[in-house]
Structure 1
Amino acid sequence: MLFSSPVFIFGFLPIVLLLLFTFFKSSKSLQKYLLIFASLFFYGWWNSNYVALILFSVLANFIFGYLVLTQKNPSSFKWMLAGVGFNLILLGYYKYFDFFIENLNFLFSSNFSLMHIILPLGISFFTFQQIAYLVDAWKGEIKKENHKFGDYMLFVTFFPQLIAGPIVHHKEMMPQFAKNLKLNIDYFLAGCSLFTIGLFKKLIIADSLGPIANNVFARADAGETLLAVESAIGVLAYTFQLYFDFSGYSDMALGLGLMMGIRLPINFNSPYKATSIIDFWRRWHMTLSRFLRDYLYIPLGGNIKGEARRYVNIMITMLLGGLWHGASWNFVIWGGLHGLMLLFNHAWLNVRKSMQLKGLPKVLAVVITFVAVAMAWTFFRAETFSGALNILKSLINPEMYWVDLDTIKSLLASNKRKIEFTLGIFAIAFIVTFFLPPASPYHMRYVEEMRPKRNSFKPDIWHMILFIVLWYIIVRKAGVSNEFLYFQF
């Protein structure tokens, strides 16, 4: 069930909200189990067979968590390692088993059959979330009396963030789940507005640019020779498609949480405005960056064991972060490229500090970072290594810098719409990306607990127009929305 589908917007969501704030409003226990049931129903809509898998994962991790919390070291540490190992084995089987067999066959000319395992939705996200919980339990950050099955199950399965994040911490969610959820008009209106913006990003911008990117990358993977301008349009289309697809999902997830009075952590903060690769990773998939930092980079030694070891740790973290995104060497290469760019970025900062040099002008720094990120996305999107190279070769080959207007017009119209519409979408994407404030931080600042009431969310004429656009979008795009790209990871 997609957030952008009519069945979710007009069926599932209204029913859940109605039950939550009417029939179930007087009991936090009833609210909790309503949300658990709704979340499992939401998860099973795609493939009911995998409901048993997530239940098994939750139950096993709850038991591991109990053993970690009730045992003293070294037994507690051993149970934590066992729980982490269990999660990695489960993730490895479903996500990487066929990838392992493919590479085994390639290296040893063997002929082992692939199992063609269907990747369960959200397994990468709820696996990391539970690993973090076990590690935090071992560190003593979770009290034994707070380790309750209902709270834990809702923590893992809460449907707004179940499929593609954000990857939440127990300390962010458990205190909220422990309270009786009441309809807060400020939260609800801010949530509706944020959900609407995310829906627009997904349906109108991301899904409109997808066919252009698909056209170019499919031809590149097939070995077709591309003009430089075709590759540039394809890379730019995917760069914005992924941005608005994931940004749209993140906005919708946070918006759904706010409708129910739940504050999820911000996961997306205008990453293409970043002035460096370091800054990019502070803005893109922020909760994944936090997880990789806290549960991989720092345990490896972080930056406390010398500069050389720091660079090694960064590289290991980014390579594994790339592999987390998918069972393909292209993802590993993408992670490695970002690792190399981070190393260069840190080295450049050291040179600047030692020589007391000024940094690049902000606009130039943003442009350089954006181009570097866009080029790296080529490996992220291409199905094959040769396809990514085809794209990059055409961009650096002077012989391909001639323009075939008919080819370009055909490419821009590949989504069966007028060229003017496609150019308009590119223009909107550019303006929203670089000149408008990020939607999630803008809305979430109205619902911070410590802010005075005068900053409550007050919809104006622009919000009314936005909701009218929502209805227009649903009527025009009903039933034609594509899956979110991060569903694949």
Structure 2
Amino acid sequence: MLFNSAEFIFVFFPIVLFGFFWIANRFGNESAILWLVLSSLFFYGWWDPSYLLIILSSMVCNYQLGRYIYNLKSKWLLTAGVAGNLFVLGYFKYAGFLVFNLAWLTNSDWSIENIVLPLAISFFTFQQIAYLVDSYKQVTEEYRFIHYALFVTFFPQLIAGPIVHHKEMLPQFQSDNAFRISATHIAIGISIFAIGLFKKTVIADGMADYANPMFNAADAGSAPDLLLAWSGILAYTFQIYFDFSGYSDMALGLARMFGIILPLNFYSPYKARSISEFWRRWHITLSRFLRDYIYIPLGGNRKGQGYRYLFLITTMLLGGLWHGAGWNFVIWGALHGGYLAVHQGWRLVSERHTWLQLHASVAWLITMLAVIVAWGFFRATSFDGALSILQGMLGLNGVSIPMAILARLGETGIMLQSWGITGYHGGASHLVTAWIYCLLLIPVVVCLPTVQDLFRHHRASLTNTEETTGTGFWIAPQFIRKLAWQPALIWASYSSLLFIIGLMTLGQVSDFLYFQF
């Protein structure tokens, strides 16, 4: 069941939401929590009921382990618990990939039966690993299994995050205010959900029509030319941005209607002026997990610059593998690890030699080019396809323009052909439309405020961050203040319009890109 489906919006969510508050009022808070857990399990099992056995087994084992770890403060139990979680994740997600590569290396005929990847296993596994570590540090403790089950399964963030900590969520559900329906929470939640729905169904799914054909053709052996390669990869750059941003907003909005505030997971990453800033804005809770549970335990900044670069690359390699069992994800992670190492080195040098410091706009352009190149490997399903796209972006596959456009250019068209630019029949409208949409979306992602900014006076997330004059040169804070959400007719109209436009696309429901991870 998808957030952007009619059965979720018109049936499942209204029943669960109002059932939660009615049960809390009639039978008490614990009964309402049980209702929400059962509803979340129903939501999870909608895709395949067999998934329920995996998530229930995982919850029972980790709940008991967490209690033992907290009481005994046993590092051995913690290690065993983390290893057990990673083993289960590794089996379902990486066993086939590992066997395939071992067979290729040894020239053998080894094989393994097709293993179906359980939905959201990466997210709920990392979330429970964080719980075990927090139990060992004695910063959190859980006495009731039903509360722990709610922490793991709460459906607004179950499938694709954010990756939350026990100490962030359960105190909110232990407050009596969470069990009383609030018109303010409902209004804020619907407004945020409407914005996210529009981002996903209108913008992200719309850009998929221009990204998918180019990537599919490249993976099939085609060599896209300069204009086609750039239009396709830019379309995907915006598709994944608005797909993940839309999901993140919808999760925030759904949770808010229950009176629950989630951590911020996405904050205008295409405004970043360095790759480090990009990762402070993109998939924020995953970045937090990688930093706290991989990078810092490896040694972080404590063992000198050389080791720091090694730890950065190692962390991002694992982050790439987290996204999927494929060499494309390994390369994507390695690229971002290399980017981070280069950025740290450049930052150290430029602090000593200030003339090397880049203007903000130049730093932004370099950052975006690096991110876009990495997206090519992230999206392509084959290494050859990704290389073909990169060659096309460099002009190595030539430059072609639809004949319909060349004919209208007159003498200019003839001159372009004399320079080696070729023409082809068909596709003019598709190419021109793709470029128009991409150019229009650039100012949208670098200039407009986000949900975090628009709801800054109403705490859109648990994270206290905002664009300021010192950090956000793309947008003036006073402009954000003028657009800020308020319980008024104008915002009700905006939200209704976005919601209605989003609903008009429900006949073409598509998965969120991060559901596959």
Question: What is the TM-score with the length of structure 2 in the denominator?
Answer: 0.88
Structure 1 partner of 2:51 = 50
Larger radius of gyration, structure 1 or 2? 2
More displaced 10-residue stretch of structure 1: 432-441 or 365-374: 432-441
Look up the equivalent residue of 1:470 and give its one-letter code. F
Q: Which amino acid aligns with 2:438?
A: F
Contact kept? 2:268, 2:450, Cα under 8 Å: yes
Distance 2:70 2:403 in 1: 66
Deviations 1:263-311 (A, max 9, x none): 0001000000000101000000000000000000000010011111111
Residue 330 of structure 2 aligns with an amino acid whose one-letter code is V
Instruction: Give the letter aligned to residue 11 of structure 2.
Output: G
The answer as to whether partners of 1:268 and 1:440 remain within 8 angstroms in 2 is no
Which of the numbers 496, 503, 514 marks the counterpart of 1:467? Answer: 496
Following superposition of structure 1 onto structure 2, how do residues 256-271 of structure 1 map, counting pairs within 5 Å? Answer: 256-271=254-269
- Separation in 2, partners of 1:211, 1:179: 45
**Deviations 1:411-453 (CA, angstroms, capped at 9, x unpaired):** 7639xxxx65x566435532321111112343254137999xx
**Counterpart of 1:137?**
135
Unaligned runs of at least 5 residues, structure 2: 405-423, 465-483
TM superposition outliers: structure 1 runs of 4+ over 6 Å: 448-451
AA of the residue aligned to 1:345: H
Question: Structure 1: how far apart are the matches of 2:487 and 2:35?
Answer: 30
Instruction: State the Cα deviation string for residues 65-124 of structure 1 (Å, max 9, x = none).
Output: 11101214xxx1111111101110110111011101110111111112232112111110
Tell me if the contact between 1:189 and 1:457 (Cα under 8 Å) persists in the aligned partners. no
Query: What is the CA–CA distance in structure 2 between the aligned matches of 1:412 and 1:49, rounded to whole Å?
Result: 46
Secondary structure at the aligned position of 1:23 is classed as: helix
1:18-73 deviations in Å (ceiling 9; x for gaps):
1122233352111211110110010011111101110011011111111101214x
Residue 278 in 1 paired to residue 307 in 2?
no
1:165 correspondence with 2:161: yes
The verdict on how the C-alpha distance between 1:405 and 1:248 changes in structure 2, with shifts beyond 3 A counting, is farther
Task: Tell me, in whole angstroms, the C-alpha distance in 1 between the residues paired with 2:264 and 2:429.
Answer: 34
Measure the CA separation in 1 of the matches of 2:379 and 2:403.
Answer: 25
Residue 449 of structure 2 aligns with which residue? Answer: 437
Matched, 1:426 2:438: yes
Distance 1:29 1:444 in 2: 32
Note the alpha carbon deviations across 1:322-348, whole angstroms, 9 max, x for none. 000000011010000001111111011
Deviations 1:455-482 (A, max 9, x none): 99423414313313312431x2123121
The structure with higher relative contact order (CA 8 Å, sep 6+) is 1
- Given candidates 389, 400, 413, the residue that maps to 2:430 is 413
Describe how 1:148-163 pairs up with structure 2 within 5 A: 148-163=144-159
> For residues 466 and 428 of structure 1, do their structure 2 counterparts lie closer, same or farther at Cα, with a shift above 3 Å needed?
farther
Structure 1 residues 15-164: aligned runs within 5 Å: 15-25=15-25, 27-72=28-73, 76-143=74-141, 146-164=142-160
Equivalent in the alignment of 2:459: 447
Q: 233, 237, 240: which one pairs with 2:238?
A: 240
On the 8 A contact 1:281/1:289 being kept in 2, the answer is yes
Q: Evaluate the alpha carbon distance shift between residue 458 and residue 427 of structure 1 in structure 2; reply closer, same or farther with a 3 A threshold.
A: farther
CA RMSD after TM alignment: 2.1
- 1:145-166 CA-partner distances (Å, limit 9, x unpaired): x332111110000000000000
Give aligned pairs, total: 475
Q: Which residue in 1 is equivalent to 2:359?
A: 361
Task: Please state how far the C-alpha of 1:355 moved relative to its aligned partner.
Answer: 1.8
Which secondary structure state, in structure 2, belongs to the residue aligned with residue 360 of structure 1? coil
The residue identity in structure 1 corresponding to 2:443 is I
- How far residue 189 of structure 1 moved from its aligned partner, in angstroms, is 1.1
Residues 412/368 of structure 1: CA separation in 2 closer, same or farther (3 Å cut) = farther
Q: What residue is the counterpart of 2:225 in the other structure? A: 227
Alignment of 1:336-355 (within 5 A): 336-355=334-353
Query: Matches of 2:93 and 2:108 in 1, distance apart?
Result: 21
Q: In structure 2, what residue type is equivalent to 1:149? A: F
Look up the equivalent residue of 2:496 and give its one-letter code: F
Hey, what does 1:8 align to over in structure 2? Answer: 8
What is the aligned counterpart of 2:300 among 274, 299, 302?
302
Matched position secondary structure for 2:114:
coil
Find the counterpart in structure 1 of residue 487 from structure 2.
458
Decide which moves more: 237-246 or 108-117: 108-117
Contact persistence 2:264–2:463 (CA under 8 A): no
Separation (CA, whole Å) in 1 of partners of 2:263 and 2:429: 37
Supply the distance in 1 between the matched residues of 2:265 and 2:315 (Cα, whole angstroms): 19
SS at match of 1:403: strand
Structure 1 residue identity aligned to 2:155: F
Is residue 277–residue 369 contact of structure 1 (8 Å, CA) maintained in 2? yes
Which deviates further from its counterpart, 271-280 or 208-217? 208-217
Question: What secondary structure, in the 3-state scheme, does the structure 2 residue paired with 1:400 have?
Answer: coil
Q: What amino acid does structure 2 have at the position aligned with 1:172? A: E
Q: 1:40 to 1:411 in 2, by over 3 A?
A: farther
- Does the Cα contact within 8 Å between 1:254 and 1:440 map onto a contact in 2? no
Distance in structure 2 (CA, Å) of the matches to 1:119 and 1:442: 37
TM-score by length of 1: 0.93
Q: 2:225–2:395: 8 Å Cα contact kept in structure 1?
A: no
For residue 396 of structure 1, the aligned residue among 375, 382, 394 is 394
Whole-Å separation in 2 of the counterparts to 1:54 and 1:197: 31
